[in-house]
Chain A
Amino acid sequence: MAYVLLRHREIPDLHKIDVYKKNGGLAAFKNAVTKMTPAEVIDVVKNSGLRGRGGAGFSTGMKWSFIDAKSWPHYIVANADESEPGTFKDREIMESNPLQFLEGLAIGAYAVGAHTAYIYLRGEFWQVADILDAKIAEMEKAGYLGDNLFGTDFSLRIYTHLGAGAYICGEETALLESLEGKRGQPRVRPPFPPSVGLYNKPTIINNVETFTNVPMILANGADWYKSMGTADSAGVKIFSLSGRVRRPGNYELPFGTTFRELIYGEKYGAGVQDSRTVKAIMPAGASSSMIVVNGDDKVLDTPMDYASVRTLRAELGSASVIVLDDTVNINWVINKTIRFFKHESCGKCTPCREGTFWMNKIVQRVSGEDRTQKDLDLLMSVAKQMQGRCLCALGDFSTMAVTTGMERFPEDFQVKQ
């Protein structure tokens, strides 16, 4: 199968604008602006079944159609915060196939009537921002960005904006606060960004990978896209595979590919390090529920799509698949994840601020061999009390590995008699 997103792996120098154009690049954008109405563009994207790749999996075409047409100007923002532990796909796209991402963002801008687009990059992506700035300049020079594009009244400028180290800024309303020059703390919703977003104007926010699908969908049609993947999860996905596998990396595969193929396929993970067995899978980075594997064939043969992963009592999220083998102790794992979330809690709401603080304290004791039943019960109860009570999803995320880890791997939390 030819690549849809990681096309630079097949086409050398795809980041160069002449090479990109020779391979069909920028034609979809020009065609959309000169021959299609915004509503027609949205329809194609809606019909393709494309769902947001930032984690929530919401229909992209649907989101675009929510843009408030009564309030102007409109903004479009690419979420390039990529800070979920285990996620490194947007970085590869932006470094190696930047023009396809920028073209997708430009098509999105046209579809929602935005003349200004921002790319919000995590602060650590300085080198990526430099690449994008250079590509944006090239597109301007070639007449694909600027005023009155292709002789129409559509104008578009794209700007990069660097964050400064805060996982929470990947949450879309915290991102908007940060982009406005404030502390990155989530907003209370509703209103949602398509009505009240950046500078209080209607704003569409999508993940980098989501945008990168769009030029190919417009070029090849919604049916072509839907022919890949599953009924519930159309198309292809980049799986960021990390942890105890032989070949960690980004692998673009149709939705519905099994965990086994990703982890054991010779072209992909190529098996577990030191030929150990898979103990657990975290399919959505540090925010995952733990999937129990312990060598169970049925679990390994589960297709990776939104619906099937749910049957394993987990979420696919951003498909950042962390593989834990049988040498890994789950109490060590939750120690790591809680430390991360305690550090990243923005402090705006009490359950998350206090909860992550206490979980981090208790988990230190729980990781040691002299843990007590009281500590275990306390940790579980703090986590459970947080669930459903936090202002944004980070609060719940911080508890997932804790509750599922303790419930599903009791052998790693035994109390010495």
Chain B
Amino acid sequence: MSLEKTYPKEVKQILAKYPPEGKRSAVMPLLFLAQREEGYITKAAIEDIAQLLDITTTEIDAVITFYTLYHQEKAGKYRVQVCNDLPCALRGADKFLEDLCENLAIKVGETTPDGAITLEAVACLAACNNAPMFQTQGPDGIKYYENMTVAKTMDVIQTLKHAGKEAE
């Protein structure tokens, strides 16, 4: 796969943001781009980015493993990432997450049998006033859902499952 072929406009835009001596800065946005289609970063994509930026694949690996929003393994089409950090937990996030697990019949870290949803617990997302809340990470990037109930969340998940199917 070649990012330059698949996303010529995006790659050009990204590279234009940084000065020649700072070309390496493009690695993070390019990794997001590489992750867009499948939800995880492949070995081939890493080699591609290494070539584009004149750095080694080892250096890119070091970046990928440092940040939580990059993934190297296939998961559900959408990751539903519930914040259960202190401020949200003070407003019922732990219970919300528990109930959500029950409704989806999976545990935190697991994927629904149809491969649509992976449920995760994450640290504060800067939306503590609107707990319970979660973000979705999927083909269309990252989106916030705030002031949620389990019922509302199940609706959102239904919609995501549909969107996922249509995109295929």
Interface residue ranges, A against B (CB under 8 Å): 82-88, 90-91, 116, 122-127, 159, 161-167, 178-184, 198-199, 240-244, 248-250, 286, 322, 324, 328, 333, 336-337, 340, 343-344, 346
CB of B124 within 8 A of CB of A86, answer: yes
Measured in the bound complex, the distance between the Cα atoms of B66 and A250 in whole Å is 31
Interface pairs (10), CB distance under 8 Å:
A84-B124, A85-B86, A86-B86, A87-B126, A123-B67, A124-B126, A161-B28, A180-B25, A199-B21, A286-B85
Measured in the bound complex, the distance between the Cα atoms of B141 and A340 in whole Å is 24
> What residue of chain A has the Cβ atom nearest to residue B89's Cβ?
A336
CB of B87 within 8 A of CB of A243, answer: yes
Give which listed residue, A91, A166, A178, A240, contacts B68 with CB less than 8 A.
A166
Evaluate whether A344 and B90 lie within 8 angstroms (CB atoms) in the complex, with A124-B142, A126-B142, A199-B21 already known: no
> What residue of chain A has the Cβ atom nearest to residue B125's Cβ?
A124
CB of A286 within 8 A of CB of B86, answer: yes
A114 CB to nearest chain B CB (Å): 12
Q: What 3 A-B pairs come out closest when comparing CB atoms?
A: A164-B67, A165-B68, A181-B24
Evaluate whether A166 and B67 lie within 8 angstroms (CB atoms) in the complex, with A85-B124, A85-B128, A322-B87 already known: yes
CB of B129 within 8 A of CB of A248, answer: yes
The B113-133 residues at the A interface (CB cut-off 8 A) are 123-129
Most buried by B among A91, A126, A178, A199: A126
Measured in the bound complex, the distance between the Cα atoms of B86 and A244 in whole Å is 11
A408 CB to nearest chain B CB (Å): 17
Measured in the bound complex, the distance between the Cα atoms of B123 and A242 in whole Å is 15
Most buried by B among A85, A90, A161, A180: A85
The B13-39 residues at the A interface (CB cut-off 8 A) are 17, 19, 21-22, 24-29, 31-32
> What residue of chain A has the Cβ atom nearest to residue B63's Cβ?
A183
Evaluate whether A322 and B90 lie within 8 angstroms (CB atoms) in the complex, with A86-B124, A88-B127, A181-B25 already known: yes
CB of A340 within 8 A of CB of B86, answer: yes
Q: Is B62 an interface residue (CB 8 A)?
A: yes
Evaluate whether A181 and B86 lie within 8 angstroms (CB atoms) in the complex, with A127-B142, A162-B32 already known: no
Residues of A within 8 A of B128 (CB): 85-88, 240, 242, 248
Measured in the bound complex, the distance between the Cα atoms of B143 and A178 in whole Å is 23
Q: With A116-B19, A166-B66 given, name 11 new contacts (CB 8 A).
A: A88-B126, A91-B126, A163-B67, A164-B28, A165-B69, A181-B28, A182-B59, A183-B63, A240-B129, A286-B86, A333-B86
